[in-house]
């Protein structure tokens, strides 16, 4: 059995504290799921499972809450996963595996995240002292090998010689591409938003004046070349081949691999290589790629290390121009590819790649084909 992705939609990506600040993850996700089913011509009762990536929701099985809010039948239990940034792609990979194994026939898969409503975190003191508030959860058991994400990106820039000018130029291009793009076929209108509100005319002059990230004064990382925390949801529909009837995309190769946790920005490189091997492709065979831009330096490093052609990557801009809703970011890449690859016809038609880095030194990559 060869599963296929037959529909894909997302909400706009709104910066934390913006238009989606009062929306719970089920409020973000339910309209997206309903639009995906409508696009595919299927009904809620046709769905066998919902798999949702979520990194900040602090339990409660967000997938179950979303399934109920979207009007899916009560028998849809919902499966929530957390692989941080990589989770959105992994949710799709799990859906493909379940359908391929014959366990289910129709699965909604993707991610939803609300930075605006993320729970406050505190570590209890086992000896009765005051709880200690924290923001970033530990991603390794070793504090000395568990850098903050900005710290890791800054170290990557220094190691590879990526300058502030190069990072800013990359960010300017990301915004320019997004500003010129039409996302009306993929974005579900929600809370008055029909496109990503953070996208703007970012000029080199504005980028040069951008404020440095805390602790990065005089270095490479700034507010202009770093993706903002954001709220969003993105889902695809994975179905058995007899339901698809040749529509949509196939997943021809996928890999999620662990790497050096002190250099999370480089983790997608071996995952990309393995996914391409599984798909029997070389980087030059790709028609298009969507690569996560948590930081411009991280995206630049991935493109270089994986041998990807920059002119084929993030054709309509990336996360620098929209924002980073952690659990949903990977599935947003897949939604973007779905709409672009399904539109291509003729000799230019070819495979596409989605790839993302994740905290803790994890990289995920997935190759899609429209044939």
| Catalytic-residue membership of 324 | yes
| Catalytic-residue membership of 115 | no
Catalytic residue among 115, 175, 287, 324: 324
For residue 258, tell me if it sits in a domain: yes
Split the chain (371 residues) into runs of 10 and give each run's mean pLDDT.
93 97 96 98 97 89 97 97 96 98 97 94 88 86 88 93 96 97 96 95 93 86 96 98 94 96 95 98 96 97 96 97 97 97 67 96 96 81
Q: Helices marked H in the chain — which ranges?
A: 25-40, 62-69, 87-100, 149-160, 164-180, 204-208, 241-244, 268-279, 296-306, 326-341
For residue 87, tell me if it sits in a domain: yes
DSSP 147-159: --HHHHHHHHHHH
- pTM of the prediction? 0.96
Q: What is the CATH number of the domain that holds 58?
A: 3.40.47.10
The residues, ordered by sequence, that sit 6+ positions from 264 with a Cβ below 8 Å of its Cβ are: 149, 152, 357, 358, 359, 360, 361, 362
Residue 208 phi, psi dihedral angles, 5° rounding: -65, -30
Catalytic residue among 85, 175, 302, 339: 85
Separation CA 314–CA 328 (nearest Å): 17
Separation CA 299–CA 369 (nearest Å): 23
For residue 36, tell me if it sits in a domain: yes
For residue 134, tell me if it sits in a domain: no
For residue 144, tell me if it sits in a domain: no
| Residue 110 CA to its chain's centroid (Å) | 9
Closest CA to 12 of 339, 328, 342: 328
Separation CA 323–CA 258 (nearest Å): 24
Indicate the number of domains in the chain. 1
Instruction: Tell me which residue has tokens 């915004």.
Output: 175
């Amino acid at each position: 059995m060869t599963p296929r992705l037959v529909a894909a939609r997302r909400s706009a990506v709104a910066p934390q504290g913006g238009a989606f600040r009062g929306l719970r993850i089920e409020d973000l996700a339910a309209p997206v799921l309903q639009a995906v089913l409508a696009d595919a011509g299927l009904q809620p009762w046709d769905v066998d499972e919902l798999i949702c990536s979520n990194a900040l929701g602090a339990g409660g099985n967000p997938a179950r809450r979303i399934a109920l809010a979207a009007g899916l039948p009560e028998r849809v239990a919902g499966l929530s996963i957390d692989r941080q940034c990589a989770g959105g792609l992994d949710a799709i990979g799990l859906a493909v595996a379940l359908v391929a194994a014959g366990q289910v026939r129709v699965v909604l898969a993707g991610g939803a995240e609300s930075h605006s409503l993320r729970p406050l975190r505190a570590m209890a003191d086992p000896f009765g002292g005051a709880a200690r508030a924290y923001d970033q959860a530990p991603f390794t058991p070793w504090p000395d090998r568990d850098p903050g994400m900005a710290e890791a990106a800054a170290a990557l820039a220094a190691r590879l010689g990526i300058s502030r000018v190069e990072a800013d130029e990359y960010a300017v291009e990301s915004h320019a591409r997004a500003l010129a793009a039409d996302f009306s076929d993929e974005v579900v209108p929600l809370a008055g938003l029909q496109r990503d509100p953070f996208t703007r005319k970012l000029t080199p002059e504005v980028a040069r004046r951008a404020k440095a990230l805390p602790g990065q004064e005089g270095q490479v990382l700034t507010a202009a070349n770093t993706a903002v925390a954001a709220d969003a949801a993105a889902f695809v529909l994975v179905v058995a081949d007899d339901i698809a009837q040749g529509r949509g995309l196939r997943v021809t190769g996928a890999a999620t691999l662990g790497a050096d946790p002190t250099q999370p920005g480089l983790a997608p490189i071996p995952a990309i290589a393995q996914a391409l091997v599984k798909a029997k492709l070389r980087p030059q065979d790709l028609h298009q790629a969507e690569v996560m831009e948590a930081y411009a330096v991280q995206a630049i490093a991935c493109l270089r290390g994986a041998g990807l052609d920059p002119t084929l990557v993030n054709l309509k801009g990336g996360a620098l121009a929209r924002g980073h809703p952690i659990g949903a970011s990977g599935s947003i890449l897949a939604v973007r590819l779905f709409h672009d690859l399904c539109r291509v016809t003729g000799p230019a038609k070819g495979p596409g790649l989605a790839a993302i880095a994740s905290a803790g030194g994890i990289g995920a990559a997935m190759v899609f084909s429209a044939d």
